[in-house]
Amino acid sequence: MDYSLISILGMILIMTIFVCYVVVGAAARRKANEERLQKSRAAEENDS
């Protein structure tokens, strides 16, 4: 087995994991922001 091939596969694997982590983190953050917006909107409607 060629070592350069192993290192290339390792780099691709790390990049894939990193991209998945970023995408999942962004999606979770967006969901939390939307929930917070809905709560603040509901609070404003209750105040008025």
Q: pLDDT by residue (tens digit) across 19-34? A: 999 999 999 999 999 9
pLDDT at 47: 78
- Host H or E run for residue 37: helix 3-47
Q: What is the predicted pLDDT for the residue at 48?
A: 65
Which amino acid is residue 11, in one-letter code?
M
Q: How many Å apart are CA 36 and CA 19, to the nearest integer?
A: 26
- Which pLDDT score, from 0 to 100, does residue 25 have? 94
Spatial separation of the C-alpha atoms in residues 34 and 16, rounded to whole Å? 27
Condensed to tens digits (0 to 9), the pLDDT of residues 2-24 reads: 789 999 999 999 999 999 999 99
pLDDT band at 43 (very low <50, low <70, confident <90, very high): confident
